Structure 1
Amino acid sequence: MNYILPHAIENVLGEKLVFLSAEKGEEGDKLIVENFVDPGFGPIMHTHWLQDESLTVVKGRIGYMVKGGTEQFAGEGETVLFKRGVAHRFWNAGEEELHCRGWIYPAHNIVFYLTSIFEAQNKSGKAQPEAFDGAYLITRYKSEFDVDIIPPFVKKVILPVTCFIGKLLGKYKHFEHAPAPVRK
């Protein structure tokens, strides 16, 4: 991991994520995290192909669902586990800031990826990341992460073409030290 922990990120959507520490595990680092989410907000439906994610509610109420399932809710002291390879989303289902603590295991490139996605959202000022950065990140790290609401044609054709154009235009100098994607 190339970040000094703790490492905090925040986006324009009212999400703050703090990567607190890393513990060594059999498959790699287990990343200890804390998040804070404004009411009504949270990440869109997504998949971590290589990581399990666990969140325990410290304060507030979390809404969550896995793709194809129904909405579920958890309150203070309750834990939600999202297994690797399962599309999921969560949001603040309460009227006050949602605060959770948890872990992501194994971490692989998640700190870089989420830091870069949040930066791209901040660049665009909305949920959809800046077009060139989003295309680069989603295309480069498709073996690790998926954004399930993006249609397959867009992921297979439009984003790679946008990424190629971005390379031609020199849009990715800030990614020159990006870690290689993990392939399994």
Structure 2
Amino acid sequence: MDLPTHYLANARKELLRFKGIAEKSMQQLNEEDLHYRPGKEDNSIAVIVQHMVGNMRSRFTNFLTEDGEKTWRNRESEFETTLQNKSELLQAWESGWDCVFHTLDNLKPHQLMQEVKIRNEAHLVIEAINRQLAHYAYHTGQIAYLAKSIRGKDWESMSIPKGESERFNKKMFEKGSRD
């Protein structure tokens, strides 16, 4: 596999990983939890999701031909709770990710060096994708942190639980030696 093809496959893999972390976090919460704000000026998970969805739709719609900050996007409204129930929230979430993956799956390796714009600032396609990878990782971390804070001792870890690193590493290295 050539480097550009590998990059696109890896970007997709990482985005799916972020999506999964956020979804596993949200699965542990009820509707009320999704709207919890630690402080008056803080965002709830619902608001973070709304913002991510708005960003995804704006950045990845007509990715190669239009500025990533669309005139139809109302970023400020993304920070007001508009998605009221979990079903509506998850439906919007899926539509945002569908937009991202549709675009990534249709990119050709030679297009990674093509120029696109975000807020009239030039980026190579690879740079624009990296920018979104970082942005979605940032917000996925916020979602997971908020969900963990809400669940407390009932949180189901999605990574190596505290005190389990040695056992996990042993298992992984044993697995590798059998391959």
TM range (shorter): under 0.3
TM-score, normalising length: structure 2: 0.26
Structure of greater relative contact order (alpha carbons < 8 Å, 6+ residues apart): 2
Higher helix share: 2
Mark the structure with the bigger radius of gyration: 2
TM-score, normalising length: structure 1: 0.25
